[in-house]
Amino acid sequence: MSSRTDASGIDLSLLLDTAYQQARLGLDEGGIPIGAALFAADGTLLGEGRNRRVQHDDPSVHGETDAFRAAGRQRDYSSTIMVTTLAPCWYCSGLIRQFGIGAVVIGENRSFQGGQDWLAELGISVTILDDERCYTMMSDFIATNPGLWNEDIGVVGEENRT
Amino acid sequence: MSSRTDASGIDLSLLLDTAYQQARLGLDEGGIPIGAALFAADGTLLGEGRNRRVQHDDPSVHGETDAFRAAGRQRDYSSTIMVTTLAPCWYCSGLIRQFGIGAVVIGENRSFQGGQDWLAELGISVTILDDERCYTMMSDFIATNPGLWNEDIGVVGEENRT
């Protein structure tokens, strides 16, 4: 498990709480429980969001893209921190790369892994918190909703490939 | 220049016209002129869209993500074709990879290059049409709006790096 405090002394588990609450809200709405939040380097919340494939019938709204949108137009993302309950998929990893987001904090990466290694190789700070709440929430959801989960990550068929 | 007809005999320049009209609409709205459209393998239009950073004050809406959203929830993207006036950035390339979109048709890639080679290496069909209308529209826009363009691709500073 990586450190829960970053170089600036910010408690990353507190930042994760914001993303986790978004994921819980999504679950309560009947959605896929993935939440995210974008923070400034000093821990100021810029935007938070959650997967809304089900709620808005919109496949383009992943947790990270929703938090990014909620943060509005920023001129420089290099010192921002994207916090997400689940390892970012390639779509969200591409977002992080294109806009030069400086750091990614991941609740858990046991249920799914997308582009986290690619981002790290590009010099983006990647921290895995291996948070048990996030893992339990996601793995329970995947076990009971394999079709919906596969749809969300573009996997064809009913098998639950992660 | 690549062939303008795909393996199924579909005229790709006709598909590009749809994306181009979206980009022109965006330009008329005062936005960044990038348009896209998602088609089924037989050329049926599934969704079309355009960059709306300016119009909606929303940094998450690129041409490809807007077209993807407009197409609604699809169960299998493997035979779909994403057509875009400009080479897809990393954000949109990540979308194409994650959802397994089978083919990408690019109006022009002289103004900007994102993940097109990465997608080709992954086995996705990538066709560059090198369309003069698309290039003129985009290069003129970049020349007169370098700050807005840089913001859209996450480049910090006023210089026009592509």
Domain harbouring A104, CATH code: 3.40.140.10
**Which chain B residue has its CA at the smallest distance from A113's CA?**
B98
pLDDT at B7: 74
Q: Is residue B6 part of a domain?
A: no
Q: Is the pLDDT of residue A160 over 70?
A: no
Number of domains in chain B: 1
Q: Classify residue B3: in a domain, yes or no.
A: no
A68 in B contact zone (CB under 8 Å)? yes
CB B77 within 8 A of CB A154: yes
Could you report how far apart the first and last alpha carbons of chain B are, in Å? Answer: 21
Does residue A24 lie within any of the structural domains?
Answer: yes
CA dihedral (B150, B155, B156, B158) in degrees, to 10, reads -40
Burial class (CB in 10 A: 0-12, 13-18, 19+), A55: middle
**Closest to A51 in 3D by CA, of A151, A156, A162:** A151
pLDDT band at B153 (very low <50, low <70, confident <90, very high): very high
Q: pTM score, two decimals? A: 0.94
* C-alpha span between B157 and B162 (Å, rounded): 12
Q: What is the per-residue pLDDT for A158?
A: 54
**Burial class of A152 by CB neighbour count within 10 A (0 to 12, 13 to 18, 19+):** buried
Instruction: Answer yes or no: is B161 within a domain.
Output: no
Residue A81 at interface with chain B, using a CB cutoff of 8 Å: no
CB within 8 Å: B89 and A94: yes
Chain Cα centroid distance, residue A15: 12
> Which residues of A form the catalytic set?
64
* Residue A1 reports pLDDT greater than 60: no
- Are B108 and B138 spatial neighbours (Cβ–Cβ below 8 Å)? yes
Q: Is B64 an active-site residue?
A: yes
| pLDDT for the residue numbered A5 | 80
**What is the token pair recorded at B105?**
């048709």
Residue A97 lies in a domain: yes
User: Cα–chain-centroid distance for residue A94?
Assistant: 13
Minimum-distance CB partner of B69 among A59, A74, A153: A59
> What would the pLDDT profile of A93-133 be if each residue is shown by its tens digit?
999 999 999 999 999 999 999 999 999 999 999 999 999 99
Chain B residue at shortest CA distance from A67:
B60
Q: Which of B64, B108, B121, B151 is catalytic?
A: B64
CA dihedral A156, B70, B65, B15 (to 10 degrees): 90
Q: Is A5 within the bounds of a domain?
A: no
Q: What is the domain range of residue A30? A: 12-154
The predicted-structure confidence for B77-136, as pLDDT tens digits, reads as follows 999 999 999 999 999 999 999 999 999 999 999 999 999 999 999 999 999 999 999 999
CA dihedral A52, A83, A154, B93 (to 10 degrees): 110
A159 lies in a domain? no
Residue A2 lies in a domain: no
What per-residue confidence (pLDDT) applies to B2? 46
**Cα separation of A98 and B68, whole Å?**
18
**Best mutation target, A60, A80, A92, to test chain B (most B CBs within 10 A):** A60
